[in-house]
Structure 1
């Protein structure tokens, strides 16, 4: 049976950062251009949102064992908020870390590893168009216990992150670099080594596309959003350059993916609606894909102190 692609919500600008909350059976995501965080509950089809001032927000991740508390990225800062998931405003916006001082850089994608450490990277000043983002200005960071570590500079658009705890791997995408990369990850020390490209854009006919957000399934395969390609692809990172499956969407600007649902067997997919590119019929929509014969893993939450 072929995967079934369903449009769940429409009319957004730049959807990013889907995170499935397994405890509350809901999806958190954000609209980068509209400076808003969103919560969608599939069982009731209820959508709520809150605006974070006039700031770019690129991730929203629950804080472990802290009800209604989240880590978000705000421009070039990592911050925490309190949000009940119902109100149209958030409380207690507090900055934890700030990076790239003296620049107008902004954070993009980010994920937490199994220790609760946050990994996120920056890109040059976010312009009104993708073509306006300057190359090579971003940096990949990790954040834990008041420690900020800088791992990789010269990044164009810091993007997809996924982890394989059993193999000790972190997978990473710089969208301007044209590869999905692999690192060895020392989870205790929070260090990366042995950078290797494992999937290359040009070798698979994606020359005009960008690799964007990604997630990992319980079999260790990666699911990668193809921006300007109308696709999510499934690849096997243990066999470099191995494309396993392709899912097509009625939107060209696919931005990110996350597993969700009661059995973590649904793929939730975000998209954008940049007018300078052809967005497709349903650009700026949130999609749900079923019938994919794969399951995800519970999304890791952030571990950090909340100071009153």
Structure 2
């Protein structure tokens, strides 16, 4: 049976960073251009938002053991915030750090972020060329930030940092720099937070996949699910055999941005999308920019890792 695709919301400018919270059985994500934290409750279908304006949030991850607390990005800052998921405002509990403070990276901002199984945050910065994304300079860095409040540059000269996924069984980390057009793999020492031996794992062009790789998640079989921006699809990539495309799900939205497994059994794939002007074209709402849920993929995800802070 073919997977079923449901549109759950109206259109956002840039839906991003979906994170399924097992505790509340709800999905947190962002409208980056709207500068909002967003919560979707699938039981009630209620959507709530809290504004981060004038700063831009790009990820929201619960803090382990702290009710209603999250680590979020605010432009190039990392902060712990308190949000009850109902009100339209949040409060900053603690500002943790600021990245990229040199003159040439003054305009950098964080983009995608996720935590590994130790509770360590991985998040990258970028400075997109707004006139022509393909001319974006490699001014970004993929960072890790741990419970000791240590911000560590892990990968330098990144152009457009994006999807992250971790496989503890095989000790691998997967990572997307969107403008490379590939999913890359690292050997990963989760205990010490060390990545080595970067290699290209899956190249979209080689596999005749149009568009650019964006957000990503991993299933219980170790396979990768990748959102394809400007490709109107989500692809399933073999996590054990390089350059192997396993499946393609065509989406109603052109600008597919990220994916996360959720639901009571973690077998529902939530998909965010965008509807902003890109290379002279703005894809129309309501299909573009909506949040989607895909059921019937035959795959299940892992519980999303929360952030741990001493």
Q: TM-score, normalised by structure 2?
A: 0.95
Maintained 8 Å contact 1:16/1:29 = yes
Partner of 1:233: 235
Please give the alpha-carbon distance, in whole angstroms, between the structure 2 residues aligned to 1:215 and 1:277: 28
Partner of 2:27: 27
Partner of 1:287: 292
Maintained 8 Å contact 2:72/2:81 = yes
Matches within 5 A, 1:203-282: 203-206=206-209, 209-275=211-277, 276-279=280-283, 282=287
Deviation at 1:183, TM superposition (A): 0.5
Deviation at 1:274, TM superposition (A): 1.5
Moved over 6 A (4+): none
Per mean C-alpha deviation after superposition, the further-off stretch among 63-72 and 98-107 is 98-107
Please give the alpha-carbon distance, in whole angstroms, between the structure 1 residues aligned to 2:93 and 2:24: 23
Q: Secondary structure at the match of 2:122?
A: strand
Please give the alpha-carbon distance, in whole angstroms, between the structure 2 residues aligned to 1:84 and 1:126: 36
Alignment gaps of 5+ in structure 1: none
Deviation at 1:93, TM superposition (A): 4.8
Alignment gaps of 5+ in structure 2: none
Please give the alpha-carbon distance, in whole angstroms, between the structure 1 residues aligned to 2:247 and 2:273: 19
Q: Secondary structure at the match of 2:54?
A: coil
Q: Secondary structure at the match of 1:176?
A: helix
Question: Is structure 2 residue 197 aligned with structure 1 residue 194?
Answer: yes
**In structure 2, do the counterparts of structure 1 residues 218 and 261 end up closer, same or farther at CA, with 3 Å as the change threshold?**
same
**In structure 2, do the counterparts of structure 1 residues 285 and 133 end up closer, same or farther at CA, with 3 Å as the change threshold?**
farther
Please give the alpha-carbon distance, in whole angstroms, between the structure 1 residues aligned to 2:76 and 2:132: 18
Please give the alpha-carbon distance, in whole angstroms, between the structure 2 residues aligned to 1:146 and 1:73: 15
Deviation at 1:293, TM superposition (A): 0.3
Maintained 8 Å contact 1:183/1:192 = yes
Please give the alpha-carbon distance, in whole angstroms, between the structure 2 residues aligned to 1:126 and 1:136: 11
Please give the alpha-carbon distance, in whole angstroms, between the structure 2 residues aligned to 1:130 and 1:118: 30
Which of 154, 167, 176 is the matching residue for 1:151?
Answer: 154
Q: TM-score, normalised by structure 1?
A: 0.95
Please give the alpha-carbon distance, in whole angstroms, between the structure 1 residues aligned to 2:16 and 2:92: 23
Deviation at 1:148, TM superposition (A): 1.3
